[in-house]
Amino acid sequence: MLDLQCIKSFVLKNFLFTDDANALSDSTSLIGEGIIDSTGILELVSYLEESFGIKVTDEEMTPANFDSIQNIAAFIGRKRPD
Amino acid sequence: MERLVECLRRHAGVTPAADALIDGTRRVSYAELYTLAASIAAGLAAAGVRPGDRVASLFPHGPEAVAAIYGTWLAGAVSVPLNPLARAHELAVAVAHAEARVLLHEPGQREVSTLANEPGLGQTRILPLDELSGLAAGTEPGLQTPAGVAADELAMLIYTSGTTGSPKGVCLTHANLAANTSAIVRYLGLTARDRVLSVLPFNYAYGNSVLHTHLAVGASIVIEKNLVFPRAVVETMQRERVTGFSGVPSTFALLLSKGKLGETRLDALRYVTQAGAAMAPGMIEKLAAALPGVEIYVMYGQTEATARLTYLPPARLHDKLGSAGIPVDGVELQVRDGQGRVLPAGEQGEVWARGPSVMRGYWRDEAATRNVLHEGWLRTGDFGQLDAEGFLFLVGRRSDIIKTGAHRVHPLEVEEAICTLPGVIEVAVAGVEDEILGQAITAFVVADPATPLTIERVKARCKELLASYKIPKHVEFRASLPRTSSGKVRRMDLSILSAEGSA
């Protein structure tokens, strides 16, 4: 749950330029809504790698892992089973 | 001369079952595409559209975006494809300027709901595609003949990097499009067996040209909506056995670094084209090394010349590395000095072009048209030189237009948006070198110390008013801006200062 909040506040601050948590639901399609584009995703991946100490491979960059805050949080959860 | 819409009808008749468009699991045959276009044409006629009227269309990158263009032509009208990333205000500026009779859009399109409040749209009927189809219910589209329109009549308005105050609609005729299409088909050697992967939006000259050149030969177009997942794009290339791919420099930067382009077997791939901005020679060599045996076409052009002016034959890629190549069939190039005198090979000046693909002018803007069209020649605003063999080498551009990824952005447009924030004393926007994007939009803001202003506030205002790719990647607060003796802000100095500051 903590992961999800961290990811959400990063997305809010860096792609929606706000700290209003109501501006984005956890299931909103980040790509469909044009919130994250081809360079935005690189910024997001760098943030995840630095903050969570993980390595995201090119193969893992898929809509299933990245299209919503929920999906990203679940992906991070799987990458960090502890 | 066969118009593109007549060409589509021919393929729909001869190879009706062949795939025209492939969008994920959806396959649209030539017959289906023509039927879709014909039903749009019937709907437009029922909505009161007459030959010569402008029809704006707003669709995501997909089959409906294509059908809207061809359906508009079937009705004899002028297609105005709009940018699906644009915000309501940006869309309204183009639609009002084009005086569109109809704005046809994807049902549920996010920006359309607020569009009705924008000024200048009184004459435009805003119709979702499903409602338009209802207007012509009961008519049987079939292989109807396109409305009789002369080849030198207007076919398309492409809105390019203008500003709110002066939108720039490039006027292209059916003959312009047909001429550029056939020149490109010839040098790429395109046939009905080709399958191209298209990521570039159809509302830009390059994406528009990829679309028409492949439909013109009865080939297939595999659509990818975006480049957010580069690896998935390369997997689609492999799965669909594409023979061709077109991109801008940032496309290739992403596919090489994140898409494993060089590590994936792409047996069917025959050619790759690159245009949109100069690609660094180092990147061209990297691309060539990643794709052995694939023909790599470096190309150059302008929306004002439909799309393509020059191409570098793949056999000369290495010995003419860094060149934009030779003119495409029908195009003549000259390099001229500031007085308009033709310069000899080896001397630098402005590139002028003449040929059947040069636009008729900017829509309802005679002054802007006079600035670039002289006695049949187009002043490109690009600087360069021709070598002794006639190969073009470009060195730079006159205008301040920022090329970021596949997009072109006028700095004034971003400056206008930022100036609407309280506390902004002045602002200058410039492109700063960026590894992936080519140029990243950077805003230099002089703020009133009495009014608190943050980077987020500046970006948030841009997001409210502008398409997302126009939001500055970087915002820097400055005490003042560098100026020329006449008081003009030096955007060039800002780009350089910022690049040095971050180095």
- Tokens representing B253? 């930067």
B-chain residues near A13 (CB < 8 A): 456
Q: Residue B319: what pLDDT?
A: 96
Cα distance between residue B271 and residue B302, in whole Å: 21
Q: Residue B485: what pLDDT?
A: 72
The ranges assigned to domains in chain A are 2-79
B76 with B44: CB under 8 angstroms?
A: no
At residue B173, the 3 state secondary structure works out as strand
Cα distance between residue B80 and residue B62, in whole Å: 16
Cα distance between residue B193 and residue B177, in whole Å: 22
Asked if pLDDT for residue B398 goes beyond 80, the answer is no
At residue B271, the 3 state secondary structure works out as strand
Domain carrying residue B8: 1-17+29-176
Cα distance between residue B394 and residue B386, in whole Å: 9
Average the pLDDT over each of B35-44, B110-119, B265-274 and give the range with the smallest value: B110-119
Q: Do B258 and A37 touch (CB under 8 A)?
A: no
B-chain residues near A63 (CB < 8 A): 229, 232
Closest approach of B229 to chain A, Cα-based (Å)? 6
Interface residues of chain B, partner chain A, Cβ below 8 Å:
85, 110, 226-232, 250, 254, 258-260, 405, 436-437, 456-457, 459-460, 463, 468-469, 473
Q: Do A39 and B456 touch (CB under 8 A)?
A: no
* Band of residue B503 on the pLDDT scale cut at 50, 70, 90: very low
A-chain residues near B250 (CB < 8 A): 38
Q: Residue B142: what pLDDT?
A: 63
Cα distance between residue B169 and residue B154, in whole Å: 12
The number of folded domains in chain B is 2
Q: Residue B116: what pLDDT?
A: 80
Among the partner residues B258, B436, B468, nearest to A61 by beta-carbon distance: B258
* CA torsion, ordered B203, B207, B211, B212, to nearest 10 deg: 80
| DSSP secondary structure letter of residue B382 | E
In terms of Cα–Cα distance, which of B237, B182, B244 is closest to B213? B182
Does residue B290 fall inside a structural domain?
no
The dihedrals phi and psi of A53, each to the nearest 5 degrees, come to: 60, 40
B43 with B128: CB under 8 angstroms?
A: no
Chain A nearest-CA residue for B404? A39
Closest approach of A37 to chain B, Cα-based (Å)? 6
Does residue B248 fall inside a structural domain?
no
| DSSP secondary structure letter of residue A16 | I
Q: Pick from B83, B110, B228, B435 the residue to mutate for testing the A interface (most A CBs within 10 Å).
A: B228
| A2-79: CATH number | 1.10.1200.10
Q: Do B228 and A18 touch (CB under 8 A)?
A: no
On the CB side of B180, CA atoms within 13 Å amount to 29
Q: Do A38 and B468 touch (CB under 8 A)?
A: no
Among the partner residues B232, B436, B463, nearest to A39 by beta-carbon distance: B436
Non-local (6+) Cβ contacts of B9 within 8 A are B34, B143, B145, B146
Name the average pLDDT for chain B: 92
pLDDT tens per residue across span B131-168:
998 888 776 666 677 778 899 999 999 999 767 667 89
- Tokens representing B278? 């100069």
Does residue B245 fall inside a structural domain?
no
Does residue B341 fall inside a structural domain?
no
Asked if pLDDT for residue A7 goes beyond 80, the answer is yes
* pTM higher than the cut 0.95: no
Answer with the one of B111, B146, B176 that is the final residue of a domain: B176
Q: What is the CA B230 to chain-centroid distance, rounded?
A: 20
| DSSP secondary structure letter of residue B341 | P
B50 with B74: CB under 8 angstroms?
A: no
What number is the ipTM of this complex? 0.89
Does residue B358 fall inside a structural domain?
no
B88: domain CATH number is: 3.40.50.12780
Among the partner residues B228, B460, B463, nearest to A37 by beta-carbon distance: B228
- A·B CB contacts under 8 A: 55
Name the average pLDDT for chain A: 92
Q: Residue B119: what pLDDT?
A: 83
Q: Residue B161: what pLDDT?
A: 78
As a whole number, mean pLDDT of residues B447-474 equals 93
Does B490 or B349 have the greater pLDDT score?
B349
pLDDT tens per residue across span B48-76:
999 999 999 999 999 999 999 999 999 99
Asked if pLDDT for residue A1 goes beyond 70, the answer is no
B80 with B461: CB under 8 angstroms?
A: no
Q: Residue B118: what pLDDT?
A: 86
Does residue B300 fall inside a structural domain?
no
Q: Residue A82: what pLDDT?
A: 57
Closest approach of A74 to chain B, Cα-based (Å)? 18
Q: Do A17 and B456 touch (CB under 8 A)?
A: yes
Does residue B415 fall inside a structural domain?
yes
The continuous run of DSSP H or E covering B273 comes out as strand B271-274
Q: Which residue has the tokens 């393509």?
A: B308
Among the partner residues A16, A38, A61, nearest to B226 by beta-carbon distance: A38
pLDDT tens per residue across span A25-64:
999 999 988 899 998 999 999 999 999 999 999 999 999 9
As a whole number, mean pLDDT of residues B100-109 equals 96
Cα distance between residue B47 and residue B132, in whole Å: 8
Give Dmax (Cα) for chain B. Answer: 71
Q: Do B230 and A13 touch (CB under 8 A)?
A: no
Does residue B368 fall inside a structural domain?
no
B-chain residues near A28 (CB < 8 A): none
Answer with the one of B149, B176, B203 that is the final residue of a domain: B176
Q: Which residue has the tokens 């679309």?
A: B211
Answer with the one of B142, B176, B210 that is the final residue of a domain: B176
